Structure 1
Amino acid sequence: MSNPHKGRTGLDRILRAAGYSWAGLRAAYSGESAFRQEVWLMVLATPLAFWLGQGWVEVALLIGSLLLVLIVELLNSGIEAAIDRVGFELHDLSKRAKDLASAAVMLALLLAGGVWAAAAYHRFIA
């Protein structure tokens, strides 16, 4: 059985995929306050990364750690939307899925905080 939505190829497929991705970013920004906060954190912290980082590797790690937070937040929002689509009644598996996705965001934030703390330590103390 073939999927009728999977028949696109070439440039048409790339353009449509880019459009879907852009729509997803817009939906996340307009509908998810945590994503908005993390976007603004990245916007404000990116210039700081160029000042704090000593060399391109450190700058890449500083910016990359924040980008990872955005990626994980998007996945978390997708999981929450899929669970809510199924229904709003309380269910152990729905709670587990949402809690696991939330834990992933927390770990990404802890990683970013650790990378930024290590860069600050390296710049100012070591």
Structure 2
Amino acid sequence: MNNKPKYHLFKNTKYALDGFIHAFKTESSFKLELFCAIFIIIGILLIDVSLIYKLILFVTGILVLIVELINSAIENVVDLVTKEHAPLAKTAKDIGSTAVMFTIGLHTITWIVVLIWA
């Protein structure tokens, strides 16, 4: 089954914005991480390090949001497939959460390394 519409820049951008709005409205973790990102970006702008370090901090910070969105998509698909308690459904959700946790850890370690050695 192929239900993919023909690629169209403006329609695809609208789909992406719809996804962002849905995540913002329904995903508390995404909302919290987006709120934290505001302060993280301010911090990146204020610290006195080279542009490459700022870029690395920015990329790892945005990566947290990207992985959270992917995790939310996984959780939505799992919920679509089954509402019952199923071990594989729980495992899929837990693995998605682990990916978010690792990404947050990566971002935190990056901040520590930049602040200590830069």
Q: Identify the TM-score tier after normalising by the shorter chain.
A: over 0.9
Does residue 102 in structure 1 map to residue 97 in structure 2? yes
Q: Where does residue 83 of structure 2 map in the other structure?
A: 88
What is the TM-score when the length of structure 2 is the normalising length? 0.93
Does residue 49 in structure 1 map to residue 22 in structure 2? no
Unaligned runs of 5+ in 2: none
> 3-state DSSP class of the match of 2:46?
helix
Which of 30, 35, 40 pairs up with 1:40? 35
CA contact (8 A) 1:52 1:119 kept: no
What is the TM-score when the length of structure 1 is the normalising length? 0.87
Q: Which amino acid aligns with 1:81?
A: N
CA distance in 2, matches of 1:61, 1:40: 19
CA distance in 2, matches of 1:28, 1:105: 15
RMSD (Å), alpha carbons: 1.5
Q: Which amino acid aligns with 1:31?
A: T
Q: Which amino acid aligns with 1:30?
A: K
Deviations 1:12-69 (A, max 9, x none): x111110000011111111011101100111111021122251111001111111000
CA distance in 1, matches of 2:83, 2:110: 37
Does residue 70 in structure 1 map to residue 94 in structure 2? no
CA distance in 1, matches of 2:92, 2:113: 32
Query: Which aligned runs of 4 or more in structure 1 are off by greater than 4 angstroms?
Result: none
Query: Across the two proteins, how many residue pairs are aligned to each other?
Result: 118
Does residue 61 in structure 1 map to residue 56 in structure 2? yes
Q: Where does residue 23 of structure 2 map in the other structure?
A: 28
Name the CA shift for 1:4/1:109 in 2 (closer, same or farther; >3 Å). Answer: closer
